[in-house]
Amino acid sequence: MEKTYHGSCHCGAVRFSADLDLSEGTSRCNCSVCAKARFWKSVVPAKEFQLLAGEDSLNEYRFGSGSIAHLFCRTCGVKPFGRGHLEELGGTFYAINVACLDDAAPEELASAPVTFEDGRNDAWDRAPKETGYL
Ligand SMILES: [Zn+2]
């Protein structure tokens, strides 16, 4: 069921809300940045996302083609979401860090399906051979 969740970084400077359905799935990826950050995401179109506080606290990191803004709190370092633009995903999207949702119950998180992506090999449509460490 789609719900409005509220999330934040660790220190609370960055706060956001996002309308999403955890039972529709989440994903984990083995690309160079997701693997190191252990980023667990749910992707939503820009219209389902709202930044409530902390615009000035966000630092942006880009690498490779530079198409994705990896955003993190300059105080606590936590990465609450990233932002990108892909026509295939309907334009601007946000990749919400599911672990930063403050009002998602442990049961909801535990039962959210996880799709694995082989981002390390630019194969986002299939799972890598090893997923247990992601
Ligand atoms: Zn913070």
Please tell us whether the domain made up of 3-116 is placed in CATH 2.170.150.70. Answer: yes
Span from the CA of 78 to the centroid of ligand 1 (angstroms):
6
CA distance 134 to 99: 14
pLDDT tens digits for range 11-24: 999 999 999 999 99
Phi, psi of 85 (to 5 degrees): -140, 115
CA distance 91 to 112: 25
123 secondary structure, DSSP code: B
pTM beyond 0.85: yes
CA distance 25 to 20: 10
Report residues near ion ligand 1: CB below 5 Å: 9, 11, 13, 73, 75-76
CA distance 44 to 48: 6
Locate the domains of the chain by residue range. Answer: 3-116
pLDDT tens digits for range 2-61: 999 999 999 999 999 999 999 999 999 998 999 999 999 999 999 999 999 999 999 999
